């Protein structure tokens, strides 16, 4: 729209050149590479992949670099690129129960089959700036990364080689351990509760393909698969705020974290010509299953209920927030009262998408000259009419005041004349 302005094209070209210059930064400093972004800013890459609905570490790293670190802009770039890709088919549902676990914790049971696996996490770190990270190899400092302690559960696979897979690199398919080194599947905590009938059953697959939010517009009412898609693509900050609100009483949701697990799951595509599913590789995902209290209803006994979150990469905060909001949105099927924003399906799903929100908010920066001139003319006319009305009101008020101030003897002839 700025092209219509005199000199607009030249200004836009200059803006692009200036953006490229600012993106590059100080030319005396080595340019950051995609392998560095993917390896050392891996959580930012995970978020771009998750909310961009595109699992490719290298492309996510490129988007972050192009966006100068603006993750929402990078998510927008990833989604835009995704629309150019051909669609070969849909993978079969992944089995998170068979996940090759890198991290697995439960807040409900201390001792559980498979054990607690702390894995890579900030949970046990001090929130103090580490000055050692301010140095680099170029400064002559020894930046050798300390190796983890020798202890590891006996059923855990070896860590991937440096620069490969989930730990740092741009490979879309993480390192795959030999079959003999792979651990036995760890049972889910919710499965343990389900064996005793203490938690609602997991939803059964009726064979109906879920609607694809990346190819169809969002429509209401939305079923749970569509809601989970929207939440998985939703803005982490928005979902975090909504999840927090449910804990503070706006929907009365204060769950236990049944389990959070992070690791690699196998992705397969069903090949019709072969008659079976063909493995395509592995992707890293985070899964959160929350355990919520439920007093029961006329048709259901008291039991725990579920909230669910599943996202690309290691995004525990996002998965937990997603589980909180998912549980809140299930109020109707559980016969609960609607009392909070996090329970309003249309409000949540229509506003959680940061790309749509960005487009609607940032379009305000574009020229609105004609619209504003119309508003300006309207305000001027309304002010003029208001001033005239005020002036007439003042004159009428002054006349009334003068009449009230006239002596009774002077007003009598006027009344007689009026009669």
Domains identified in the chain, total number: 2
Residue 114 confidence class, pLDDT cut points 50, 70, 90: confident
pTM of the model: 0.78
Note whether residue 365 is domain-resident: no
Residues 178 and 63 in one domain: no
What is the CB neighbour count within 10 angstroms for residue 314?
22
- Give the domain-ending residue among 334, 352, 370: 352
Query: HEC profile for 243-255?
Result: HHHHHCCCCCCCC
| pLDDT tens profile 53-88 | 999 999 999 999 999 999 999 999 999 999 999 888
Q: Are residues 321 and 343 in the same domain?
A: yes
> What's the pLDDT at 180?
44
Domain end marker among 323, 352, 381: 352
> Which range of residues forms the domain containing residue 298?
96-128+152-352
pLDDT at 182: 55
Residue at 411 is within a domain: no
- List pLDDT tens digits, range 163-191: 343 333 333 433 344 444 456 678 888 88
345 and 262 in one domain?
A: yes
Within a domain: residue 395? no
For residues 54 and 168, state if they share a domain. Answer: no
Could you tell me if residue 380 is inside a domain? no
Please say if the pLDDT value at position 124 is more than 80.
yes
Query: Rounded to an integer, what distance in angstroms lies between the CA atom of residue 387 and that of residue 371?
Result: 24
Does residue 65 sit in the same domain as residue 168?
A: no
**Mean confidence (pLDDT) of the chain:** 81
- Answer yes or no: do 78 and 103 share one domain: no
Assess if residue 366 is contained within a domain: no
pLDDT band, very low/low/confident/very high, at 159 (cuts 50, 70, 90): very low
* Co-location of 54 and 119 in the same domain: no
Q: Are residues 187 and 325 in the same domain?
A: yes
The residue out of 330, 352, 374 marking a domain boundary is: 352
Q: Do 189 and 270 sit in the same domain of this protein?
A: yes
Kindly state whether residue 170 falls inside one of the protein's structural domains: yes
Question: What are 80-106's pLDDT values in tens digits?
Answer: 999 999 888 888 888 898 899 999 989
The mean per-residue pLDDT over the stretch 111-131 comes to 85
| pLDDT confidence bin for 378, thresholds 50/70/90 | very high
- Under the banding of pLDDT at 50, 70 and 90, the label for residue 383 is very high
Mark whether 60 and 102 lie in a shared domain.
no
101 and 6 fall within a common domain: no
- Average pLDDT score over residue span 41-49: 94
Average pLDDT rounded to a whole number, residues 321-329: 93
Q: Are residues 60 and 119 in the same domain?
A: no
Residue 278, domain member (yes or no): yes
The answer to whether position 371 is within a domain reads: no
């Amino acid at each position: 729209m700025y092209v219509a302005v005199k000199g607009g094209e030249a200004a836009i070209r200059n803006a692009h050149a200036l953006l490229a210059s600012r993106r590059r930064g100080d030319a005396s400093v080595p340019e950051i590479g995609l392998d560095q972004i993917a390896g050392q800013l891996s959580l930012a890459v995970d978020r771009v992949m998750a909310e961009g609905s595109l699992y490719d570490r290298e492309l996510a790293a490129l988007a972050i670099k192009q966006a100068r670190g603006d993750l929402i802009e990078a998510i927008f770039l990833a989604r835009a690129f995704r629309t150019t890709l051909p669609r070969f088919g849909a993978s079969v549902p992944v089995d998170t129960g068979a996940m090759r676990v890198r991290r697995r914790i439960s807040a409900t049971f201390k001792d559980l089959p498979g054990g607690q696996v702390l894995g890579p996490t900030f949970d046990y770190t001090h929130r103090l700036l580490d000055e050692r990270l301010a140095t680099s190899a170029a400064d002559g400092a020894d930046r050798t990364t300390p190796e983890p302690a020798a202890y590891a559960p006996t059923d855990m696979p070896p860590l991937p080689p440096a620069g490969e897979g989930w730990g740092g690199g741009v490979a879309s398919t993480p390192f795959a351990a030999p079959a003999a080194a792979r651990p036995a599947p760890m049972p889910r905590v919710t499965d343990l509760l389900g064996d005793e009938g203490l938690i609602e059953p997991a939803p059964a697959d009726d064979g109906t393909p879920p609607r694809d939010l990346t190819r169809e517009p969002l429509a209401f009412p939305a079923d749970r698969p569509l809601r989970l898609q929207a939440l998985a693509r939703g803005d982490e900050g928005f979902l975090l705020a909504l999840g927090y609100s449910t804990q503070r009483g706006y929907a009365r949701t204060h769950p236990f974290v049944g389990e959070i697990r992070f690791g690699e799951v196998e992705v397969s595509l069903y090949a019709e010509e072969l008659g079976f599913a063909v493995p395509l590789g592995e992707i890293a995902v985070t899964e959160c299953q929350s355990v919520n209290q439920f007093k029961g209803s006329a048709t259901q006994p008291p039991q725990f209920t579920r909230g669910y979150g599943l996202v690309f990469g290691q995004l525990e905060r996002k998965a937990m927030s997603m589980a909180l909001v998912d549980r809140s949105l299930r109020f109707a099927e559980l016969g609960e009262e609607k009392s909070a924003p996090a329970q309003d399906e249309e409000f949540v799903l229509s506003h959680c998408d940061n790309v749509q929100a960005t487009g609607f908010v940032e379009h305000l920066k574009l020229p609105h000259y004609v619209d504003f001139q119309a508003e300006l003319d309207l305000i001027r006319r309304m002010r003029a009419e208001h001033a005239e009305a005020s002036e007439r009101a003042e004159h009428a008020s002054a006349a009334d005041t003068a009449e009230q101030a006239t002596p009774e003897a002077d007003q009598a002839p006027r009344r007689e004349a009026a009669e």
